[in-house]
Amino acid sequence: MTEQYGLSLGKLLELTLAGREPAEKIQLTSSGTRLQWLEEGALLVKPAASEDTGFDVLLSAGIHGNETAPIELVDRLLKSIARGEIKPRVRILFLLGNPEAMRRNVRFVEQDMNRLFNGRHALMSGFEAQRADQLERLVSQFFSEPKRARLHYDLHTAIRGSAIERFALYPWSEGRTHSQAEMARLEAAGIDAILLQSKPGITFSAYSYAAHEAEAFTLELGKARPFGQNAGVDLSKLESGLRALIEQREPPRPEKPEHLRVFRVSREIIKHSDNFKLHLADDVANFTALPEGYLLAEDGVHQWIVTETDARIIFPNPHVKPGLRAGILIVPCTPAGQAVLS
């Protein structure tokens, strides 16, 4: 059966870009791994029962359709599984988040899908809102089995360059603490910094973290480029880490990260109206340091002046819709701040 993989489920990306359904919805590899097409851009992988270690891993990419390096990474992993080169010992749900935006090579069609989770899609209309609802239902079904470990990596690349190229955003939820063991896993996979969120979020990883108690992260992996132009995006260490995770052969690692740079959110810059002005160059990089006293943004009577010591900016984007964040001010965690991790 592995010789037939390429005709159908191993080519989930090709099927998705073409807007086609596979002729066969279920396939098996020679090692007994089961591949099941669920719906557009969604594929479930189940190991043979004797190999299942009780771990559920959700790998999503393409929530923003023009962030292609992570999509190509997911494609390589899935094809290797379908060929029998990777023999999973975990359940995996592969999700290509925004197929229509992928086909158009745009970030989104109508609205930013990664601001539509944790129920926010119910307040909106249009294609992305419907797809966010669909993705939440797929994730709910995937994470419905009790007594299994749960992990979600939502893979992205950024609009602009970054002084720290590979970093992760760790969601927040009432009553939960951030896991140093999971941060050490990310460090081993080539992630250089992590940003600890301080309030509930509306992103895809925030949904998995809050609604299903999965360990969940948004991974930013370089700058967005078109399909086939990602030679400059080095995901080799992450890809090796994901392969080891899928096969459950990860080498021993420290109980906590050793060199990972840890930041926390200080403030979000919220755009209130179309009069919003962000006083940064269009090409300023993520993690750019800002001096105290700097007038960062203004919007009518609202002003954002940097009062934090050692503040940095990430995701500056004055072109978002009113009501959404136009940037995040972050600061390095103090030792006391790090002590809350578990």
pLDDT digits (tens, 9 = 90+) for 324-333: 889 999 999 8
Q: Which pair of structure tokens corresponds to residue 262?
A: 């840890």
Closest CA to 74 of 238, 318, 262, 296: 238
Domain total in the chain: 2
| 300 neighbors 273 (Cβ within 8 angstroms) | yes
pLDDT of residue 296: 96
Terminal-residue alpha carbon distance, the chain: 45
Last residue of a domain, one of 196, 213, 247: 247
The answer on whether 67 is annotated among ligand-binding residues is yes
Most confident of 7-11, 127-131, 231-235: 127-131
Tell me what the mean pLDDT of segment 117-142 comes to: 95
Residue 46 has pLDDT above 70, yes or no: yes
Whether residue 226 sits in one domain with residue 275: no
pLDDT of residue 3: 40
Whether residue 191 sits in one domain with residue 72: yes
Q: What CATH number should be reported for the domain holding residue 230?
A: 3.40.630.10
- pTM of this prediction exceeds 0.85: yes
Whether residue 288 sits in one domain with residue 194: no
Whether residue 107 sits in one domain with residue 58: yes
Q: Which pair of structure tokens corresponds to residue 280?
A: 């940064």
Whether residue 141 sits in one domain with residue 69: yes
Q: What is the DSSP string of 140-191?
A: HHHTTSSS-EEEEEEEEEESS-BSS-EEEEE---TT----HHHHHHHHHTT-
pLDDT band at 1 (very low <50, low <70, confident <90, very high): very low
The answer on whether 156 is annotated among ligand-binding residues is yes
For 296-307, the pLDDT digits (tens) are: 999 999 999 999
Last residue of a domain, one of 247, 274, 304: 247
pLDDT band at 143 (very low <50, low <70, confident <90, very high): very high
For 223-280, the pLDDT digits (tens) are: 877 777 777 778 999 999 999 999 999 999 888 999 999 999 999 999 999 999 999 9
Residue 60 has pLDDT above 50, yes or no: yes
Residue 338 has pLDDT above 60, yes or no: no
The answer on whether 212 is annotated among ligand-binding residues is no
Residue 6 has pLDDT above 60, yes or no: no
Domain that holds residue 32: 2-247
pLDDT of residue 342: 35
290 domain residue, yes or no: yes
Whether residue 156 sits in one domain with residue 25: yes
pLDDT of residue 222: 83
What residue type is assigned to position 194 of the chain? I
Beta-carbon neighbour count of residue 234 at 10 Å? Answer: 15
Tell me what the mean pLDDT of segment 14-39 comes to: 93
| Residues above pLDDT 90, as percent of the chain | 80
258 domain residue, yes or no: no
Whether residue 306 sits in one domain with residue 194: no
Most confident of 52-66, 118-132, 248-262: 52-66
pLDDT of residue 64: 97
pLDDT of residue 16: 96
Residue 334 has pLDDT above 80, yes or no: no
76 alpha carbon, distance to own chain's centre: 17
Q: Which pair of structure tokens corresponds to residue 1?
A: 């059966």
Q: Which pair of structure tokens corresponds to residue 257?
A: 């990260």
- Average pLDDT score over the chain: 91
CA dihedral 244, 147, 38, 189 (to 10 degrees): -20
Whether 220 is catalytic is yes
110, 220, 255, 308: the active-site residue: 220
